[in-house]
Amino acid sequence: MFGRRGDNIRVSAQADHQSDARRALLALYDGALPVVYGYFVRRCGDRDTAEDLTSETFLAAMDAARRSDPPPVSVPWLLGVARHKLADHYRRGQQRFTVPVAEPPEPALEAAGAADGWDAEVDRMVAEAVLARLAEPHRTVLVLRYMDDCSVGQCAELIGRSVHATEALLVRARRAFKQQYPEGGTP
């Protein structure tokens, strides 16, 4: 009278699938929160913005988990959502796209020897100074590509350009870096 039995089973299976996705997201939350927050802090440099974007990411993830056909929930999937939220944030023009120059891990002085460690530290300091003098788009794309290990496609998505335009920007950014770096070093 109200529907066939098969329809009820399908609705019940969808509800179970949604419930599983929500449970998976809740189980993942404690471990994924610092990863997602750290992703935003490294790219924004502003903790308030990072907190807001982290909240937006988890809200979007919960909305996705409530859909009739939720995606498989994992940390890489959450970082994909975070990447989209960051791109949306910069597209809205809430602030200029800047990427702070992060501190790379300290070189292992014992393995490389004290002189090599000192040389590496000086090179790092010079590279940071050169990056700080570059135009914002050049600095941003170099940091994303070489410090954050983003692919050219990921860089393009994050800065809101086509892949071809991002490749051209990388060429110009590398050229600008080499011109300002003593002895023509590379990033």
Of 55, 27, 59, nearest in space to 40 by CA? 55
Residues 32 and 85 in one domain: yes
pLDDT at 186: 46
What CATH code is carried by the domain that includes residue 66?
1.10.1740.10
Residues 77 and 131 in one domain: no
What CATH code is carried by the domain that includes residue 172?
1.10.10.10
Quick check: is 51 in a domain? yes
Of 107, 36, 23, 20, nearest in space to 69 by CA? 20
Give the residue, 100 or 31, on which the prediction is more confident: 31
Quick check: is 135 in a domain? yes
User: Burial of 84 by CB count in 10 Å (0-12 exposed, 13-18 middle, 19+ buried)?
Assistant: middle
Question: Tell me: the pLDDT tens digits for 72-129?
Answer: 888 888 888 888 888 788 777 644 445 555 555 554 444 445 455 667 767 777 777 8
Residues 86 and 153 in one domain: no
pLDDT at 99: 53
Residues 68 and 137 in one domain: no
Residues 41 and 82 in one domain: yes
Residues 90 and 153 in one domain: no
Give the residue, 159 or 105, on which the prediction is more confident: 159
Q: Residue 184's pLDDT band (boundaries 50, 70, 90)? A: very low
Residues 144 and 83 in one domain: no
Contact 94, 48 (CB under 8 A): no
Tokens of 80: 């994909």
User: Is 12 a residue whose pLDDT tops 50?
Assistant: no
Quick check: is 52 in a domain? yes
User: Domain span at residue 153?
Assistant: 124-180
Number of domains in the chain: 2
Residues 33 and 91 in one domain: yes
Quick check: is 77 in a domain? yes
Quick check: is 109 in a domain? no
Residues 33 and 80 in one domain: yes
What is this structure's pTM?
0.45
Residues 76 and 23 in one domain: yes
Give every CB contact of residue 92 below 8 A, 6+ residues apart in sequence.
none
